[in-house]
Amino acid sequence: MKKFSLTLITIYLFFAITLVSIPSILAQCIDQPFPTQPNKNLAVKCLTVKQPIKKLKSQVSNNTDMLEIRFDCAINDETICAKVKSTFEEAGRIITSALTLYTQIIVNVTFREMMSPAILGSARPFRSMPLKDDDGIERLYPQSLVKQLQLTSHPEFAPVDIVADFNSLVALWFEGDPPITSKQVGFLELILHELMHGLGFVSAWGDYFPKAATPEVNDFIESENSNSKAMTVFGGFQEKAFDKYLVIFPDNVTTSSYIKELNKFADGSAFKNFDDFYVKFIASPQYLVAKEIYNHFVTPKSLVFKPSVSDKEEDWTYLETTLNPFERGSSVSHVDNMMYTNTSDFLMTYRQELGRTLNDNIGIGGNYAGGAISYKLRLILESLGYTVNYPSPFPSNETDPVTENSIPTSLSTRNFAYQSSIAYIVGIVMIINALL
Ligand SMILES: [Zn+2]
């Protein structure tokens, strides 16, 4: 009897272990544990994990609990620490009122003294993972989004979804402080902007070769078991989830349609190192394709995010293509600064005006429903795959430019505005001193 029981247990354990250990397909995940070091990416082999199908419903009754802030305040000032924490909580409330989250998103926040007051900080997805889209193309998805999709199988999750790292040396303005001064940075707006990048408002496209645009090449980044002498097989250029909806004008072609052409370059070929890859790419016909794309990315009004949920032209968002030369992290991964800076779509421009609170900008943008998370930004988040709430009424023509009168005159001149703004760069935010 005892022996029989043991056999049964053994059989049960065998199947139990088998069930949890298959399938063991490995996916190439990309971890970015250091938000202020944009080049410090790690290639991680992720096991594919199966999970039971759940009904799509929030796991926690109160939606505001669906965004958890884990806060490490590394300075000796309890008052400031409390303000930083409550600002993140407020940003969490704004996000959880705009999105219906089905699985909790965990944000690791560090607030610390950095090397220079010129660095503001950053937030970004901790882990990005490849998923095959419905158009058959594999793209990198941020973990916070993959969690909401409730897939029956997915690459394994890291314990954290978004990492945020901000600098205590910066002159920050917190909600409830005395009136903001012209040198202060509105912290709530800064955090909301960065958390949007963490949720997936970010493109893979950059100028990784001279005057040419391609998605970031991940094959040569530091790997868990890297062997520097080994040849690296190039797996192909890979877009991010955001890039699925990018359309180049006037050609009216998707950026994704260029991927097939670019990947004719040595797809599956081995290279000694990145330098070897770099030299051979520049000598290839595909480099000319990348140069053509680059030219679109430095021409105003050439790149549009066309939301999946609307065919209306007024629902398109023009992305930042006015910078020439291209500025990696600022170009493409933001909305057009000139078009949207004083509209309800201000949040994702690559510059934040100093001396303005989030509420100031919402007012200047026209006080439309939805506040900081505009109608068009919600369309983008919904296209990515989030379930989005649309407050009512939500005028579809809300992005009409505001009149000159509604802009404070001190901020209406171009030079002054540029000298008193910060530039967001995905991965790191710097104070800009009259760079343009
Ligand atoms: Zn940004």
Is residue 258 assigned to a domain?
A: no
- Most confident stretch, 6-10, 111-115, 396-400: 111-115
Whole-number Å distance, alpha carbon 1 to ligand 1 midpoint, is 67
Q: Peptide bond before 23: cis, by omega within 30 degrees of 0? A: yes
Whole-number Å distance, alpha carbon 293 to ligand 1 midpoint, is 21
pLDDT in tens, 121-138: 889 999 999 999 988 899
Per-residue pLDDT at 256 exceeds 90 = yes
pLDDT of residue 329: 86
How far apart, in whole angstroms, are the C-alpha atoms of residue 143 and residue 149? 10
Strand 67-73 versus strand 105-112 pairing type: parallel
Whole-number Å distance, alpha carbon 233 to ligand 1 midpoint, is 32
Higher local confidence (pLDDT), 233 or 400: 233
Whole-number Å distance, alpha carbon 372 to ligand 1 midpoint, is 14
Whole-number Å distance, alpha carbon 260 to ligand 1 midpoint, is 28
> Which residues, at least 6 apart from 123, have a Cβ–Cβ distance to it below 8 Å?
35, 107, 162, 163, 164, 165, 191, 194, 195, 197, 198
pLDDT in tens, 44-68: 889 988 876 665 555 555 677 899 9
pLDDT in tens, 68-85: 999 999 999 999 999 999
- Alpha carbon 67 to chain centroid distance? 16
Whole-number Å distance, alpha carbon 88 to ligand 1 midpoint, is 17
How far apart, in whole angstroms, are the C-alpha atoms of residue 36 and residue 122? 6
pLDDT of residue 427: 42
Query: Hey, CA dihedral for 123, 127, 133, 138, is it positive or negative?
Result: positive
Whole-number Å distance, alpha carbon 121 to ligand 1 midpoint, is 11
Whole-number Å distance, alpha carbon 7 to ligand 1 midpoint, is 59
Is residue 83 assigned to a domain?
A: yes
Whole-number Å distance, alpha carbon 424 to ligand 1 midpoint, is 4
How far apart, in whole angstroms, are the C-alpha atoms of residue 294 and residue 260? 17
Is residue 310 assigned to a domain?
A: no
Q: Taking the C-alpha atoms of 126, 389, 341 and 199 in order, what is their torsion angle to the nearest 10 degrees?
A: 10
Whole-number Å distance, alpha carbon 14 to ligand 1 midpoint, is 49
The whole-number average pLDDT for the span 164-174 is 95
Higher local confidence (pLDDT), 122 or 212: 212
pLDDT of residue 424: 53
Return contacts of 25-30, CB within 8 angstroms, 24+ apart.
27/129, 27/130, 27/155, 28/130, 28/218, 28/235, 29/127, 29/128, 29/129, 29/130, 29/155, 29/156, 29/158, 30/127, 30/128, 30/129, 30/140, 30/218, 30/221
Residue 46 forms beta bridges with which residues?
A: 27
The whole-number average pLDDT for the span 15-26 is 43
Higher local confidence (pLDDT), 148 or 62: 148
Whole-number Å distance, alpha carbon 282 to ligand 1 midpoint, is 29
- Alpha carbon 390 to chain centroid distance? 21
Whole-number Å distance, alpha carbon 240 to ligand 1 midpoint, is 16
Whole-number Å distance, alpha carbon 136 to ligand 1 midpoint, is 29
DSSP 332-370: SSSB-HHHHTTSTTGGGBSEEETT--HHHHHHHTT--TT
pLDDT of residue 9: 42
Whole-number Å distance, alpha carbon 5 to ligand 1 midpoint, is 60
The whole-number average pLDDT for the span 310-325 is 96
pLDDT of residue 25: 62
Whole-number Å distance, alpha carbon 50 to ligand 1 midpoint, is 34
Amino acid at 226: S
Higher local confidence (pLDDT), 37 or 129: 129
Is residue 102 assigned to a domain?
A: yes
Tokens of 137: 């193309």
pLDDT of residue 222: 62
Per-residue pLDDT at 147 exceeds 80 = yes
For the chain, the residue count is 436
Per-residue pLDDT at 319 exceeds 50 = yes
How far apart, in whole angstroms, are the C-alpha atoms of residue 305 and residue 376? 10
> Strand (E) positions, 67-143?
67-73, 99-100, 105-112, 119-125, 127-132, 138-142
Is residue 118 assigned to a domain?
A: yes
What confidence tier does 221 reach under pLDDT thresholds 50, 70, 90? Answer: confident
Whole-number Å distance, alpha carbon 405 to ligand 1 midpoint, is 28
pLDDT of residue 220: 77
DSSP 239-301: -BGGGGGEEETTTTEETHHHHHHHTTTTTT-EESSHHHHHHHHHTSHHHHHHHHHHHHHTSTT
How far apart, in whole angstroms, are the C-alpha atoms of residue 397 and residue 356? 25
Whole-number Å distance, alpha carbon 166 to ligand 1 midpoint, is 14
Whole-number Å distance, alpha carbon 112 to ligand 1 midpoint, is 20
Whole-number Å distance, alpha carbon 68 to ligand 1 midpoint, is 22
Per-residue pLDDT at 348 exceeds 80 = yes
How far apart, in whole angstroms, are the C-alpha atoms of residue 105 and residue 68? 6
Whole-number Å distance, alpha carbon 330 to ligand 1 midpoint, is 7
How far apart, in whole angstroms, are the C-alpha atoms of residue 314 and residue 316? 6
Whole-number Å distance, alpha carbon 53 to ligand 1 midpoint, is 35
| Average pLDDT of the chain, as a whole number | 83
What confidence tier does 226 reach under pLDDT thresholds 50, 70, 90? Answer: low
Higher local confidence (pLDDT), 48 or 316: 316
Whole-number Å distance, alpha carbon 427 to ligand 1 midpoint, is 8
Is residue 214 assigned to a domain?
A: no
Whole-number Å distance, alpha carbon 334 to ligand 1 midpoint, is 6
Residue 423 forms beta bridges with which residues?
A: 351, 430
Number of structural domains (the chain) is 1
pLDDT of residue 294: 98
The percent of residues above 90 in pLDDT, for the chain, comes to 61
Per-residue pLDDT at 244 exceeds 90 = yes
pLDDT of residue 277: 92
How far apart, in whole angstroms, are the C-alpha atoms of residue 152 and residue 137? 19
How far apart, in whole angstroms, are the C-alpha atoms of residue 319 and residue 305? 7
Is residue 87 assigned to a domain?
A: yes
- Answer for the pair 292, 261: CB distance below 8 angstroms, yes or no: no
- Answer for the pair 116, 169: CB distance below 8 angstroms, yes or no: yes
Tokens of 176: 């409830």
Is residue 185 assigned to a domain?
A: yes
Print the domain residue range for 136.
27-204+347-431
The whole-number average pLDDT for the span 389-404 is 57
Whole-number Å distance, alpha carbon 198 to ligand 1 midpoint, is 10
pLDDT of residue 72: 96
Whole-number Å distance, alpha carbon 70 to ligand 1 midpoint, is 22
pLDDT of residue 232: 81
What confidence tier does 88 reach under pLDDT thresholds 50, 70, 90? Answer: very high
Whole-number Å distance, alpha carbon 228 to ligand 1 midpoint, is 33
